[in-house]
Structure 1
Amino acid sequence: MPRELRLEAVGRRYGVRGPWVFRDVHLNPAPATLTRIEGPNGTGKSTLLRLLARIDAPTEGRVTGAPRTAYVPERFPAALPFTALGYLTHLGAVHGLSRTAAERAAGDWLDRFGATAHAHTPMSRLSKGSSQKVAVAQALLAEPELLVLDEAWTGLDTDARAELERAVAERTAVGSAVVFVDHDPRRLAGRADAEYTVRDGTLHRRTAAEPTTAPNGPHMTIEVHGPTAPLPPEALRLATATEETADRTHRLTVPASHSDVLLRALLTARPPWHVVSVRQDGSRHR
């Protein structure tokens, strides 16, 4: 079965005679892309994400493809008989890691989301914010080919929200597809490769003529000099703007939350690119 997921003429309703949530939905989240799903409450966004995550099945139509998928639900079941570290270690083992490697990866993700202090806290005693950090960590631990996020930023503190944005950039940079719903229109604004709205019982792709939210928040401008080869595809996917300022010299603009991922793509390219300067909010650092 192909790895790439595809929804073909999918419809979903609950009960034999229940009303249709939506019908005739076609969606194919391509590798290395970010897809945003929008729509008013109650239109079926979460239902659609559950179909993508293969947690729910369509009433009609087909879902094909079998990518390695991870899902962060809108409400994470926190009352589990594990500590935070124990739960993540268990899932790492489920994904095929040795116990030692699973525990190391679990600790790394808890550290990234600022939750190391809660590593040995029972899941049932975690706050909403700490529980949500475990929820996103369990999804990222799987290194998924398809990452499905349903209001995953809700409950996270500012640093953890930025870290999740970085993690999303990392997943698309290595070729994963990411599909997300978020109530904040500024979330990853301007970064999506495709945007859809659930309305009138089906899925509509946003066209260029429809209004979009402008990119928001601090940005970095990075100037690099490098080989005759083109810029790495990962860097081009992350940048909101690129400009060739001289022979083999380029200026790239990127949201600050994604700058470290872009720099890593440039510095680990073969051959690597040389970083000439980095500017944030009008200040230049060399």
Structure 2
Amino acid sequence: MGRRYGLGGPWVLRGVDIDLPAHTLIRIEGANGTGKSTLLRLLAGIDSPTQGRITGQRPRTAYVPERFSAALPFTAAGYLVHLGRIHGLRTPEAADRAQSWLARFGAADHARTPLPELSKGTSQKVAVAQAFLAEPELLILDEAWTGLDTAARDELDRAVAERVAAGATVVFVDHDPRRLAESVDTVFRIERNGLRTASGARTAQTGPRVRIEAEGPPGAALPAGLPGAPEHTPTADGGVRFTVAATHSDALLCALLTARPPWHIRQLAAAPGPVQDPAADGPAHRTPTPEAP
């Protein structure tokens, strides 16, 4: 597909061919002005291609724009409930989810605050919360971490990992090259109006990892489709040692504990090994390996 603005205007994107499989985290890169936001709007269905088309059944989609307009006649919770209703949720369910997501991102105290009175950071928390209300199958994030405090950014990392683990496709742009680097399945880069595959970040460990030792029921097979595609090796006492990116550890624990039949978690600890900072030129350093309490 391609996109340009105005008759005879220059092409912003042209010849773009991208597939969005389930259970996938995709990063879009490119210099400022190359068309990253345009591509995300096309994928989210906010904009339409000038040339070509998007095929396949449209999944339940949520989108966090690069700039969230807070000049709307709602309180924070009222806005989320309103969008939840648009997504097909009943009012009580939408209200419960709104409160839950506001609390998760640290904005529960602002539930009754009118949107125009919110700070930029809190407005961004509301923008992010609305994207998770209806458990989207396709989640589009355009620099959604910008303006969030550290705790909220970490929470957004976890929420993204949970969505991917649940089978969703997440496509994101972020100015920090380390953002979810250890979890990304595919990186695309926009250059000269086109799209090329840059790398698959899971081939290089660039962030902290977690080791989980667990024991399955007698004769039980390893659960299929475990979040984060963890490495797994048998232990001498009949258990299994899983090693996974830290951003996927919560989702992996949940998957093991809720398997049918459930697995028993023996130990949780930081995994030893090199963690290379992509922004640094020096050698990799080693993470500490404290035992879980």
Find 1:21's aligned residue among 1, 7, 12: 12
Aligned Cα root-mean-square deviation (Å)? 2.0
Query: What is the 5 A alignment of 1:255-270?
Result: 255-270=245-260
> Residue deviations 1:88-110, cap 9 Å, x none?
01111222222111111100000
The letter of the residue matching 1:124 is: P
CA drift of 1:273 comes to 1.2
Contact 1:186/1:213 (8 A) holds in 2: no
- Percent identical pairs in the alignment equals 59
Residue 115 (structure 1) aligns with: 107
Q: Give the Cα–Cα distance (whole angstroms) in 2 for the partners of residues 213 and 40 of structure 1.
A: 23
Rounded Cα–Cα distance in structure 1 between residues aligned with 2:146 and 2:86: 27
- TM superposition shift of 1:17: 1.2
> Partners in 2 of 1:76 and 1:182 — Cα distance?
15
Q: 2:125 & 2:167 partners in 1: Cα distance? A: 23
Show the counterpart of 2:235.
245
Structure 2: segments with no counterpart, 5+ residues: 271-287
Q: How does 1:83-162 map to 2 (within 5 A)?
A: 83-162=75-154
Seen in structure 2, the aligned counterparts of structure 1 residues 73 and 271 have a Cα distance that, compared at 3 Å, is same
| Corresponding residue number in structure 1 for 2:279 | none
Say yes or no: does 1:42 pair with 2:33. Answer: yes
5 Å matches for 1:222-237? 222-227=212-217, 228-235=219-226, 237=227
SS of equivalent residue, structure 1 residue 86: helix
- 1:4-19 matches, cutoff 5 A: 10-19=1-10
CA spacing shift, 1:138–1:207, aligned 2, 3 Å: closer
Report what 2:197 is aligned to. 205
TM-superposed CA distance for 1:213, in Å, is 6.7
- The answer to which of 78-87 and 225-234 deviates more is 225-234
Matched residue count: 274
Q: CA deviation at 1:252?
A: 1.8
In the alignment, is the contact (CA less than 8 A) between 1:191 and 1:240 conserved in 2?
no
Whether the 8 Å CA contact 2:124–2:148 is kept in 1: the answer is yes
When you count strand as a share of all residues, which structure comes out higher?
1
Q: Deviation digits for residues 55-111 of structure 1, max 9, x if unmatched?
A: 000010011231110000000111111000110011112222221111111000000
- Which residue is 1:7 aligned to? none
Q: Deviations over 1:169-216 (max 9, x none)?
A: 1111111111111110110012111111111210001256x9987422
Equivalence for 1:188: 180
Aligned pair 1:284/2:272, yes or no?
A: no
Distance of aligned partners of 1:13 and 1:260 in 2 relative to their CA distance in 1, 3 Å threshold: same
User: What TM-score comes out, normalization by structure 1 length?
Assistant: 0.90
What secondary structure, in the 3-state scheme, does the structure 1 residue paired with 2:2 have? strand
Structure 1 spans left out of the alignment, 5+ residues: 1-9
CA separation in 1, counterparts of 2:167 and 2:148? 26
Q: Give the aligned residue type for 1:250.
A: V
Q: Determine the C-alpha separation between the residues in 2 that align with 1:71 and 1:97.
A: 17
The structure-2 alpha-carbon separation of the partners of 1:213 and 1:74, relative to structure 1 and needing over 3 Å to count, comes to farther
Deviation track 1:38-62 (CA, whole Å, cap 9, x = no partner) reads 1111111110000000000001001
Aligned with 2:136: secondary structure?
coil
Query: Does structure 1 conserve the Cα–Cα contact (< 8 Å) formed by 2:25 and 2:171?
Result: yes
Residues 12 and 23, structure 1, Cα contact 8 Å, conserved in 2: yes
Compared CA separation, residues 194 and 257, structure 1 to 2 (3 A): closer
- 1:138 Cα deviation from its structure 2 partner: 0.4
